[in-house]
Structure 1
Amino acid sequence: MSANAPAPLNSEDLACFVCVAGTGSISRAALEQGADQSTVSRQIARLEANLDTRLFHRTGRGMILTESGQTLLGYARQVSATLAEAREAIRASTAQGPAQLIIAAQPTIANTAFASIGTAVKQRFPATRVRFVEGLASPLLGWLAAGEVDVALIYLPDQHGALKVDVLLEEDLTLVTPTSWGHIGPTFRCASLDEVPLILPSTGHGLRVLAENLVARAGKSLKMAMECDASNTVSMRLVEDGCGATLLPFAAVADRVAQGRLRCARLVEPVVTRQVALATARNRPPVPELWDIMQTVRQSVRNTVMSGAWPGARLV
């Protein structure tokens, strides 16, 4: 823009102009806009300077539009109407939520929480297409970082600096055994885990690392029966068939324990607790209405725990 070019018109100045034209008075326009009379006067003066013309005749009866003012009024009203329409369109769009929402979770959490979360999110955002994804911890964190999922429910890792997390609940880890293992009581000491043939994911998986750390405290190592990177359902079936024991939260096995297909013992000395958190990536722009989405998911999880449908879980 050259040094002599007029400054661009300001939408606030135009709105002020429309108000003065409508009220016919600087003082009444100032009152309507909640502004000082001097501020309104400066806005009108700025408009007149930018357009290089008088917009009002100042008379004892108030502010009367000049011919130039009459011409500007029509355009100014169009601008005000367009801006109001834009604000309403944006408000309506954000109220509907995102066009698509991808929610991921680790398998145990997904099995317990996805149904109620899906119902709650669709009630709140009926126009949003919801997609659920299940995955183990390492790939799930990668999906978050890459923006392939919007929100994830995870067992809180030790290092989570790249994540924004909202801890929802905690649950104890249990030793899950075949029903034939009558020598296992309602609790089991972590220091004795080295004596149990375990079915766990391969090295590097969060649950495997946790188990290795528990026995390492006693200077021991795990006694692996087999490695299973398949679903928890497969691991539980292997335990049912007597291939070994595994470690899972009670919610994952509650139905099979009630049916007499499995047994479980709470790990003690120490009690092993894992926290479930709602996570988003720090390096990704948030989806529309993210705060509302997070609150909807949080309340859904809270309702699930309070109803007893997430056995063994405690709200944080």
Structure 2
Amino acid sequence: MHSEDLLMFLGVAENGNLSRAAVEIGLSQSALSRRISALESELNTRLFYRSGRGLTLTESGHRLIAFAQTIKHTLAEANAALLAPAHQGPSSIVLAAPPTIAKILFGSIGKSLQQRYPGIKMRFKEGLAGHIHDWIASGEIDAAIAYLPENRAFLGAVDVILRERLSFVAPTEFGALPDAFPIERLAEVPMVVPSPSHGMRTRAEAFVAQYSKSLNVAMECDSSVYITRQLVVENCGCTILPVAAVFEELQAGKLQATRLEPDVVRDVAIISGRNRPPIPAQWEVLRAIREVMTGLVEGGLWPDAELAEASPG
């Protein structure tokens, strides 16, 4: 079975008709029919049900079509990468980030890359840590700007850009906050946190476990950070977030925040996707993203963040 066989199979499947597919592919109908029959013989399974009204996929055909589409997409990407002059940069890029980072960063990255590479097709994906790690592992994205997990073995290339401090965030009804909120007190107040499968929840539970206590979970929220913020605004509990994620609510007096004691920080890094061919001019693109992140921190537009030590070039 060769890529050409899969592309012909895909052409027939998409048309549902041998004659139309033959015209599109550039073969005679009889030659295409023989090629499809040979592929079925090689795989020892029927791929199509044949009738006077055309062709429909069998169960085996439905399973094979996903692989055929992947091959078609990969070949198209390879063709575009090799034909595009390197100085023009990539024709497309797929970037991912968790909501708190996407809110700060995606607009600035979009503007910067569009100016550097006119005509670039950009796709931004927002997701929680678990989703992003899956996208990295599967090669669904070119790069992610994300918080580094404790276990980094499954990640691709990592470039740590900055460190961001986490804060205790409370509704105004909570009362005045101290200059710093002791971590052990997280066991005493109702908390709005993600479910146990998420890194933030794991870290929060580990914080209070140091003091032989358990986290007081009032609500679990796996939706966007926006929903978590609204639940805290409505006095459903408190949470742990970076200041940048609740900056507007703090400015409007809807929420209040203070640092945790001792300090809790997270590394934010650019992580290259795995199992995905590198995009053209990848080093330059990632450097451009690094420059945007650095500029936001130095300009005070990423609150409670400081630049990490420069990574080796």
Is the 8 Å Cα contact of residues 172 and 254 (structure 2) preserved in structure 1? yes
Deviations 1:103-156, CA, capped at 9 Å, x for gaps: 100110000111111111111111210111100111111111111110101101
Is the 8 Å Cα contact of residues 97 and 127 (structure 1) preserved in structure 2? no
Which residue in the other structure is 1:110 paired with?
102
What TM-score do the two structures reach when normalised by structure 1?
A: 0.69
In structure 2, C-alpha distance between the alignment counterparts of 1:167 and 1:135, rounded to whole Å: 19
In structure 1, C-alpha distance between the alignment counterparts of 2:163 and 2:83, rounded to whole Å: 37
Give the gaps of 5 or more residues in structure 2: 1-80, 309-313
Q: Please list, as runs of the form range in 1=range in 2, the aligned pairs for 1:177-256 lying within 5 A after superposition.
A: 177-256=170-249
Secondary structure in 2 matching 1:175: strand
Q: Please list, as runs of the form range in 1=range in 2, the aligned pairs for 1:1-316 lying within 5 A after superposition.
A: 93-162=85-154, 163-268=156-261, 270-316=262-308
Deviations 1:36-94, CA, capped at 9 Å, x for gaps: xxxxxxxxxxxxxxxxxxxxxxxxxxxxxxxxxxxxxxxxxxxxxxxxxxxxx969622
In structure 1, C-alpha distance between the alignment counterparts of 2:157 and 2:184, rounded to whole Å: 34
Closer/same/farther in 2, CA of residues 106 and 196 from structure 1, 3 Å limit: same
Closer/same/farther in 2, CA of residues 161 and 188 from structure 1, 3 Å limit: same
Is the 8 Å Cα contact of residues 144 and 273 (structure 2) preserved in structure 1? no
How far does residue 201 in structure 1 lie from its aligned partner after superposition? Answer: 0.5
In structure 1, C-alpha distance between the alignment counterparts of 2:102 and 2:119, rounded to whole Å: 23
Secondary structure in 1 matching 2:268: strand
Is the 8 Å Cα contact of residues 165 and 242 (structure 2) preserved in structure 1? yes
Q: Which of structures 1 and 2 has the bigger CA Rg?
A: 1
Deviations 1:166-204, CA, capped at 9 Å, x for gaps: 001111100110012114223101111101100001011
Is the 8 Å Cα contact of residues 238 and 244 (structure 1) preserved in structure 2? yes
Is the 8 Å Cα contact of residues 175 and 264 (structure 1) preserved in structure 2? yes
Secondary structure in 2 matching 1:304: helix
What TM-score do the two structures reach when normalised by structure 2?
A: 0.70
Give the gaps of 5 or more residues in structure 1: 1-88
Which 10-residue stretch deviates more, 241-250 or 278-287? 278-287
AA of the residue aligned to 1:229: D
How far does residue 282 in structure 1 lie from its aligned partner after superposition? Answer: 4.4
In structure 2, C-alpha distance between the alignment counterparts of 1:303 and 1:152, rounded to whole Å: 18
AA of the residue aligned to 2:173: S
Count of aligned pairs: 227
In structure 2, C-alpha distance between the alignment counterparts of 1:131 and 1:309, rounded to whole Å: 24
> Runs of 4 or more off by more than 2 Å in structure 1?
89-92, 281-285
Is the 8 Å Cα contact of residues 92 and 122 (structure 2) preserved in structure 1? yes
AA of the residue aligned to 1:178: P
Is the 8 Å Cα contact of residues 96 and 127 (structure 1) preserved in structure 2? no
In structure 2, C-alpha distance between the alignment counterparts of 1:161 and 1:288, rounded to whole Å: 26
Deviations 1:244-291, CA, capped at 9 Å, x for gaps: 0011001111221111010011001x2100011000134433111110
In structure 2, C-alpha distance between the alignment counterparts of 1:213 and 1:222, rounded to whole Å: 9
In structure 2, C-alpha distance between the alignment counterparts of 1:293 and 1:145, rounded to whole Å: 20
Q: CA RMSD in A?
A: 1.5
Which residue in the other structure is 1:68 paired with?
none
Secondary structure in 2 matching 1:172: strand
In structure 1, C-alpha distance between the alignment counterparts of 2:82 and 2:191, rounded to whole Å: 55
In structure 2, C-alpha distance between the alignment counterparts of 1:290 and 1:225, rounded to whole Å: 44
